[in-house]
């Protein structure tokens, strides 16, 4: 698993976009008291359920791998001239 440039910022962006996605879909909303781990896991599972990302193999569902999947997902969603893709 090769780390993306700006991966931490991409994960933060994925959580923001994922929060809006979850609200529009009507399945939930992140609260200020939710931990980063909970947000990452919830968003990862939601995107897998909706078949927007491919699931990790059984036993590989660790937080760093989930964050990497979210970073890849948002990286594909951003326009080519976005600063996080530079």
Q: What is the pLDDT of residues 2-50, one digit of tens each?
A: 778 889 999 999 999 999 999 999 998 888 899 999 999 999 999 999 9
Residue 67: pLDDT band (50, 70, 90) is very high
Take residue 13 and report the two structure tokens written for it.
């962006």
**Residue 43 CA: distances (Å) to CA of 48, 68, 73:** 9, 12, 11
Q: Give the pLDDT score at 36.
A: 93
Q: How many angstroms separate the CA atoms of 30 and 78, rounded?
A: 22
* Total residues found in the chain within this entry: 86
pLDDT of 1 > 80? The answer is no
Residues 6+ apart with CB under 8 A from 66: 40, 41, 44, 56
Q: Give the pLDDT score at 4.
A: 80
Q: Give the pLDDT score at 32.
A: 86
């Amino acid at each position: 698993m090769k780390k993306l440039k700006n991966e931490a910022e991409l994960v933060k962006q994925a959580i923001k976009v994922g929060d809006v996605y979850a609200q529009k879909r009507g399945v939930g909303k992140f609260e200020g008291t939710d931990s980063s781990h909970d947000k990452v896991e919830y968003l990862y599972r939601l995107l897998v359920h909706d078949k927007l990302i491919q699931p990790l193999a059984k036993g590989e569902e660790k937080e760093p791998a989930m964050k990497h999947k979210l970073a890849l997902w948002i990286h594909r969603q951003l326009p080519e001239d976005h600063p996080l893709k530079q």
